[in-house]
Amino acid sequence: MKTILTILLFIPILGLAQKPKTYNSMEEALKNPDDVRILFLNGQELTEVPPEIAQFKNLYQLCISHNEITELPLFLFDLIELTDLDVSHNKITEIPEEIGNLKELFEFYADHNLLKAVPGSLFTTPALGFYLNNNLIQELPNEVTQLGTEILDLSYNQIYVLPDSLGNMHADQLLLAHNELTEIPESIGNMTKIQALDLSYNPVEWLPTSLFNCLDLGELNLKKTKMKRKEVFVFEYVMDWCDIIR
């Protein structure tokens, strides 16, 4: 009886622990700036990030995708509670170094923009998902080799070279499809925990045999590369634990 009474008393408390409200307009959000934790302003034809967002000190999820934004103001990176930041599908040309201030960042979406480069500070954040596909990126900063993440999506860019120390990176999925890569660093064999590697639609002619060390690799996509059939066969034969797509 005492247990039942305890449960009944606890039920109202559970009701108070509701999911934070999602705000979809600045007008509504500015009525309660301290209450704003989730803000979705996607698809609102914005040409700039509203400066009033700086008032939302408790904001942890911000989506400003599918707009016409060209730059990210520095005040965004003073919102140190941010865990999810989505700036995808805009016309952004640069990510400020100050993004490294976001020490709670969990996921970062900047795909479908006009980025030609990304700052090294981005890869010092603890995010488990970096979505940088469909941009104009040509090279990666050396800091990317310090990364520990679940997914790094760099597909549909113009990357033509990877850092020699790429193998120092820890990533479950490394997606590099539709770039300009002709070779892969020997050090990739050090990424022994990688689970998926997509090199499709790159002019890659050969792969280092150090890949044989990647025993957790479950999928290797080599579709539309320049590797000869007999070379691909060697990897299929040795890496019989891996699904090789060609």
Query: Whole-number mean pLDDT of the chain?
Result: 93
Domain extent for 183: 138-246
CATH code of the domain covering residue 191: 3.80.10.10
Q: Is 201 within the bounds of a domain?
A: yes
In a domain, 128, yes or no: no
Q: Is residue 33 part of a domain?
A: yes
CB within 8 A of 10, min separation 6: which ones? none
pLDDT at 5 over 70: no
The answer to the question of residue 4 being in a domain is no
Answer for the pair 10, 32: CB distance below 8 angstroms, yes or no. Answer: no
Of the pLDDT bands very low, low, confident and very high (cuts 50, 70, 90), residue 18 is confident
* 22-42 mean pLDDT: 96
**CA gap 179, 153 in Å, rounded:** 12
pLDDT band at 17 (very low <50, low <70, confident <90, very high): low
Query: Does 14 reside within a domain?
Result: no
Residue 11 lies in a domain: no
Q: What is the pLDDT, as a whole number, of residue 15?
A: 44
**pLDDT of 4 over the 70 cut:** no
Give CA–CA dist 33/10, Å, rounded.
30
CB 118 within 8 A of CB 96: no
| 8-state DSSP, 10 | H
The answer to whether the pTM exceeds 0.85 is yes
162 with 209, same domain: the answer is: yes
Count of structural domains within the chain: 2
Q: Is residue 55 part of a domain?
A: yes
